[in-house]
Amino acid sequence: MQSLQERVVSYAQNREDVILAGFFPGKTDGFHVLAVDPGRSLVLGWLASDGSPITSWAFVLDDAENDTTRLLTRSRASKRYPFLGVPPALGNPVIRVVHFIMQRKQLLGIAHRAEQFDALLDRVMPEYDIVERHRVRIDALPQVAFDAAHHVSLAQSLLVRAIVKLRATAMGATQAEPDRPHGLIAETTSMGWRALAEIPGCELVMGAVTQPWMADVTFRPLDRDAFVAFAEPGFVKIAWTLRVDGALPHGTIFSTETRALATDRAARLKFLRYWRRVKPGVVAIRWILLRRLKRAAEANQLQSLAHGRTH
């Protein structure tokens, strides 16, 4: 029976999967795939001239608490591994430092991408010209936090109303802001936004088509298929989310993400000029929204706990 090392060598010699070593400019060789367990682990290796691996680089996913995942890596190198021709006495300490810096940066990058990944939003708008992401930790259960989003109203904030008024004045708007129904979802729906996708109690994606640089901006509501296919020149498609994710120990990460995509180059130029002007106000409104949601959700959680103790 073959040993594990023999099986790895045999596997490597018969594999053609190669990941180029992009950190060495001009190199056409790279890491060979030594083993794969889809969704669980990946082992890469650098092969010697005889086809045997002289390094291994393993990535393993491990289930952690509260529906989180731990990514583990381990690198090993044999004595035959050269570091750009430097003697081992000098090369080994350098290798450890360089690899530590590289590996830490890589893991942080993977974590950032994984945590920002939003499959529901990607189905609606996988490509975009701008993106804004904001999040806040809430000491309440996810369902309590998500429910708060339906009842918190932006119009109740004096600062939000001031930002909206400032934008209208600067753009020369002529239409007065009408009274809106109470609650964030009802409020935005009345403006012309429409729900494009939803995971009940977890995430909601809203979207509309507009020309945001107009003084009296209007939002055109479209259903999901029409929104995805929309390509009429001179417009911008905007999608934004409300999303809850469980956090330690019994809290919630409440996040919102906004993406915008222009339908042609002329619209993109107009939109990006406009975006540079209004971005501070948009960021401020998102910050205010999340803080209001946090206060409302945590107050509702306390009321629920008090109600539970008295019954």
Q: What is the pLDDT of residue 70?
A: 86
Number of domains in the chain: 2
Same domain, 144 and 251: yes
- Alpha-carbon distance of 56 to 244, in angstroms, equals 38
Same domain, 155 and 257: yes
Q: Which residue has the tokens 């795939």?
A: 33
Same domain, 269 and 141: yes
Q: Partners of 239 in the beta sheet?
A: 207, 259
3-state secondary structure the chain: CCCHHHHHHHHHHCCCCEEECCCCCCCCCEEEEEEEECCCEEEEEEECCCCCEEEEEEEEEEECCCCCEEEEEEEEECCCCCECCECHHHHHHHHHHHHHHHHHHHHHHHHHHHHHCCHHHHHHCCCCCEEEEEEEEECCCHHHHHHHHCCCCHHHCHHHHHHHHHHHHHHCCCCCCCCCCCCHHHHHHHHCCEEEEEECCCEEEEEEEECCCCCCCCEECCCHHHHHHCCCCCCEEEEEEEEEEEECCCEEEEEEEEEEEECCHHHHHHHHHHHHHHHHHHHHHHHHHHHHHHHHHHHHHHHHHHHHHCC
Give me the mean pLDDT over the 153-162 stretch: 87
Whether 222 shows a pLDDT value over 50: the answer reads yes
Q: What is the pLDDT of residue 207?
A: 97
Same domain, 53 and 71: yes
Comparison of pLDDT for 285 and 10, the residue scoring more:
285
Which CATH number do you get for residue 123?
Answer: 3.30.530
**What's the pLDDT band for 96 if we cut at 50, 70, 90?**
confident
Edge-to-edge strand ranges of the sheet holding 41-47 = 18-20, 30-37, 41-47, 53-63, 69-77
The parent domain of residue 192 ranges over 119-309
Give me the mean pLDDT over the 289-302 stretch: 91
Same domain, 37 and 127: no
Q: Are strands 236-247 and 130-138 parallel, antiparallel or unpaired?
A: unpaired
Q: What is the pLDDT of residue 261?
A: 97
- Alpha-carbon distance of 23 to 33, in angstroms, equals 18
Which tokens is 238 given? 């905007």
Q: What is the pLDDT of residue 15?
A: 47
Which tokens is 258 given? 């906004």
Same domain, 12 and 78: yes
Task: Give the tens place of pLDDT for each residue, 102-151.
Answer: 888 888 878 766 666 678 899 999 999 999 999 999 999 999 999 998 88
Whether 20 shows a pLDDT value over 90: the answer reads no
**Backbone phi, then psi, for 202, in 5-degree steps?**
-125, -45
The residue from 88, 116, 144 where one domain ends is: 116
Whether 5 shows a pLDDT value over 50: the answer reads no
**What's the pLDDT band for 204 if we cut at 50, 70, 90?**
very high
Task: Give the tens place of pLDDT for each residue, 71-91.
Answer: 899 988 887 776 666 777 777
Task: Give the tens place of pLDDT for each residue, 22-81.
Answer: 545 455 567 888 888 888 888 988 888 888 888 888 999 887 765 568 889 998 888 777
Same domain, 170 and 91: no
Q: Which of 217, 264, 211, 260 is nearest to 239 (CA)?
A: 260
- Count of residues in the chain: 311
Which tokens is 124 given? 């609606």
Cβ contacts of residue 157 below 8 Å, gap of 6+?
288, 292
Comparison of pLDDT for 50 and 219, the residue scoring more:
219
Same domain, 28 and 89: yes
Which tokens is 102 given? 């590289």
Q: What is the pLDDT of residue 45?
A: 87
Q: What is the pLDDT of residue 302?
A: 83
Q: What is the pLDDT of residue 8?
A: 42
Same domain, 188 and 257: yes
Which tokens is 193 given? 């936004």
**What's the pLDDT band for 307 if we cut at 50, 70, 90?**
low
Q: What is the pLDDT of residue 91?
A: 74
**Structural contact between residues 95 and 83, judged by C-beta atoms closer than 8 angstroms:** yes
Sign of CA dihedral 187, 188, 189, 192: positive
The residue from 116, 147, 178 where one domain ends is: 116
Q: What is the pLDDT of residue 242?
A: 93
What percent of the chain has pLDDT above 90?
Answer: 43
Q: Which residue has the tokens 């053609």?
A: 16
Comparison of pLDDT for 58 and 19, the residue scoring more:
58
CA distances from 208 to 196, 222, 293 (A): 9, 6, 23
Whether 21 shows a pLDDT value over 70: the answer reads no
What's the whole-number average pLDDT of the chain?
83
Q: Sort 52 into a burial class: Cβ within 10 Å, 0-12 / 13-18 / 19+.
A: middle
Whether 3 shows a pLDDT value over 70: the answer reads no
